[in-house]
């Protein structure tokens, strides 16, 4: 049995990756946030694509250590150095995935699935949310026709309609497919173009269950004896629409990519699987794939086109790491050329992870605006960016660090430009530095902000309020100006009035052009670890100050 390097604990230990690393205590201004610590093994080169890294990591394995991460399952935006930009905690509910930056009604937005997941069978129940640049939910999208959206696809189109995937258990007689006597449940893989339901397609209407490469009798895709264990013969995991109104879909359990007529719903052609219309040479073969797309760059010949896909080349019995079978010894992102005159497929590009990961489930391949390919390795828990001109990996990272990172995975991963202007207030805390007399460290952060370049810290009288800070008697003193230094910026000041509690401190954020963006609340300096005495804040702060006198 071949496994990926990622799943081998011995290799992790030899690489020095297995250690008790906690995600806690990263941000003293936001102790409630414990995002993953990306393990970056290839730092970002200068020619990586524009934008930030979009991830929704969650824990899918039980390694037996009790430290399977991440500590906080959520969606995150990171900078290239692993610095946090935004945590979705408090913004999204339930299990969230497939977070992307898109355009909606002419404005930049974030789209994301949120709901529940059946982690073993690889489907879910939920809805999609659209968030604006302030991270406010401005729209919620559900499937139509009394159906429930599943996890695999929410693809917001330029027309402002959306493509969604539905996992629909359906009763039929399965005895002809070698099912057990009482087996009668099969999954109808459905997609809709919705807002209102503009188009709906059903796998059972067009693809016979005999096309599945996972037999009902094996039980690996469900035994069919009840709706929960319905035979998932098709497993739809991506839907794309072209400028002509036709659709491109991926059936993981048929190992086939299909082009669907947007007028009739008929299958125009099949690529891969047992009934491929194209001859596929060895280098272009794929299996159990995800994320079939039409890249923006296409050949000029009318009878040729390119598609990209994530070739898992393997499958698991659920998302729990159980190895089942593989077509190749590693997963890859592929760009294929399809010729509908000769009906031949060929390889344009094929890239695999620098450590030859085998992703048993999930994954995606995103073609960036500079033609680089950004790959999310799904269940293998890593991301890689490949340079367009030579396919060299110019960024690679695992989704968490140490033994807490074992088993962390993300359904998809992306790179997108994004401008975040959070509506929530920045967080600030001032902590007494016991090693230096009159020393205080001010910690300030603003979840989701991408625009702050500089923080200015001021001192003012405790009796003054923000509305009176401009008055002569409450005029604030500028203590220090500091460049932003990560999600949380720490400013060290030496001011006796602040240390003694005679002055409070607050901060203001400024963008690169010097425009003031926001003002924090004013806080009094305190010890980091406070003694519980049945009361909060002001009394605790007074006790801490008195102890220093």
Q: Quick check: 13 pLDDT over 90?
A: no
- What is the band of 484 on the pLDDT scale with cuts at 50, 70, 90? very high
Tell me, yes or no, whether 541 lies in a domain: no
**Which tens digits make up the pLDDT trace of 328-339?**
889 999 999 999
Q: What is the model's pLDDT at position 466? A: 76
- What is the band of 5 on the pLDDT scale with cuts at 50, 70, 90? very low
Q: What is the model's pLDDT at position 11? A: 37
* Of 381, 416, 451, the domain-final residue: 416
Q: Model's pTM, two decimal places?
A: 0.91
Q: What is the model's pLDDT at position 542? A: 36
Q: Is the dihedral angle over the CA atoms 220, 225, 226, 227 positive or is it negative?
A: positive
307 & 279 share domain: yes
- What is the band of 276 on the pLDDT scale with cuts at 50, 70, 90? very high
Cα separations in angstroms, 227 against 166, 223, 224, 230, 231? 14, 10, 7, 5, 9
443 & 368 share domain: no
Share of the chain above pLDDT 70, in %: 88
Q: Quick check: 473 pLDDT over 80?
A: no
The domain that holds 471 is classified in CATH as 2.60.40
Q: What is the model's pLDDT at position 258? A: 98
Cα separations in angstroms, 341 against 298, 303, 304, 321? 16, 6, 8, 41
Tell me which residue range forms the domain holding 456. 427-524
Cα atoms in the Cβ-side hemisphere of radius 13 Å centred on 230: 22
Average pLDDT over residues 254-272: 98
User: Measured in whole angstroms, how far is the alpha carbon of residue 459 from the centre of its chain?
Assistant: 40
Structural domain count of the chain: 2
Q: What is the model's pLDDT at position 368? A: 97
Helical (H) or strand (E) element with 13 = helix 9-14
Tell me, yes or no, whether 459 lies in a domain: yes
Tell me, yes or no, whether 24 lies in a domain: no
Q: What is the model's pLDDT at position 19? A: 47
109 & 227 share domain: yes
Of 364, 542, 539, 488, nearest in space to 31 by CA: 488
The domain that holds 345 is classified in CATH as 2.120.10.30
Judge whether 97 and 128 are in contact, CB under 8 Å: no
Length of the chain: 549
Q: What is the model's pLDDT at position 324? A: 66
Q: Quick check: 496 pLDDT over 70?
A: yes
**Which tens digits make up the pLDDT trace of 145-182?**
999 999 999 999 999 999 999 999 999 999 999 988 89
Tell me, yes or no, whether 529 lies in a domain: no
Judge whether 478 and 456 are in contact, CB under 8 Å: yes
432 & 508 share domain: yes
Tell me, yes or no, whether 546 lies in a domain: no
**Which tens digits make up the pLDDT trace of 500-549?**
888 999 999 999 999 999 999 999 999 877 666 665 544 334 333 333 33
Query: Cα separation of 515 and 159, whole Å?
Result: 35
Q: What is the model's pLDDT at position 403? A: 78
Average pLDDT over residues 469-487: 88
386 & 454 share domain: no
DSSP 99: E
- What is the band of 63 on the pLDDT scale with cuts at 50, 70, 90? low
């Amino acid at each position: 049995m071949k496994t990926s390097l990622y799943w081998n604990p011995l290799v992790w230990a030899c690489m020095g990756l297995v250690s008790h690393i906690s995600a806690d205590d990263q941000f003293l201004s936001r102790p409630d946030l414990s995002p993953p610590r990306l393990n970056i093994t290839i730092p970002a080169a200068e020619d990586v694509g524009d934008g930030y890294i979009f991830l929704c990591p969650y824990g899918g394995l039980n390694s037996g250590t009790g430290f399977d991460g991440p500590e906080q399952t959520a969606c995150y935006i990171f900078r290239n150095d692993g610095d946090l930009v935004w945590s979705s905690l408090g913004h999204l509910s339930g299990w969230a995935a497939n977070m992307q930056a898109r355009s909606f009604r002419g404005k930049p937005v974030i789209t994301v699935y949120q709901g529940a997941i059946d982690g073993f069978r690889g489907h879910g129940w939920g809805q999609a949310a659209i968030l604006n640049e302030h991270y406010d939910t401005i729209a919620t999208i559900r499937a139509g026709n009394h159906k429930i959206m599943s996890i695999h696809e929410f693809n917001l189109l330029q027309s402002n309609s959306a493509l969604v995937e539905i996992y629909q258990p359906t009763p039929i007689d399965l005895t002809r497919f070698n099912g057990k006597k009482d087996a009668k449940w099969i999954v109808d893989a459905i997609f809709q173009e919705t807002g209102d339901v503009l188009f709906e397609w059903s796998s059972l209407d067009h693809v016979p269950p005999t096309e599945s490469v996972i037999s009902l009798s094996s039980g690996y895709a469900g035994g069919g004896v009840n709706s929960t264990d319905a035979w998932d013969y098709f497993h739809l995991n991506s839907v794309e629409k072209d400028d002509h109104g036709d659709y491109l879909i991926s059936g993981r359990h048929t190992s086939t990519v299909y082009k669907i007529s947007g007028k009739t719903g008929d299958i125009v052609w099949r690529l891969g699987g047992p009934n491929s219309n194209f001859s596929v040479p060895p280098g272009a073969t794929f299996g159990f794939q995800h994320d079939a797309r039409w890249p923006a760059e296409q050949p000029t010949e009318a009878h040729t086109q390119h598609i990209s896909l994530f070739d898992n080349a393997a499958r698991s019995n659920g998302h729990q790491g159980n190895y089942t079978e593989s077509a190749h010894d590693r997963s890859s992102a592929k760009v294929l050329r399809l010729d509908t005159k000769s009906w031949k497929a060929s390889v344009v590009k094929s890239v695999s992870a620098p450590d030859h990961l085998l992703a048993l489930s999930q994954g995606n391949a995103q073609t960036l605006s500079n033609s680089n390919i950004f790959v999310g390795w799904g269940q293998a828990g890593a991301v890689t960016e490949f340079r367009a001109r030579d396919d060299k990996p110019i960024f690679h990272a695992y989704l968490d660090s140490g033994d807490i990172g074992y088993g962390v995975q993300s359904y998809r991963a992306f790179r997108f430009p994004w401008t975040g202007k959070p509506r929530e207030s920045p967080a600030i805390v001032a902590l007494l530095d016991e090693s230096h007399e009159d020393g205080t460290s001010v910690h300030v952060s603003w979840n989701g902000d991408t625009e702050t370049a500089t923080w200015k810290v001021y001192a003012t009288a405790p009796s003054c309020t923000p509305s009176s800070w401009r008055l002569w008697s409450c005029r604030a003193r500028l203590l220090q100006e500091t460049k932003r230094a990560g999600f949380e910026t720490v400013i060290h000041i030496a001011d006796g009035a602040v240390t003694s509690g005679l002055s409070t401190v607050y901060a203001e954020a400024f963008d690169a052009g010097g425009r003031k963006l926001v003002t924090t609340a004013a806080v009094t300096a305190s010890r980091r670890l406070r003694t519980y005495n049945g009361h909060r804040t002001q009394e605790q702060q007074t006790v801490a100050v008195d102890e220093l006198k």
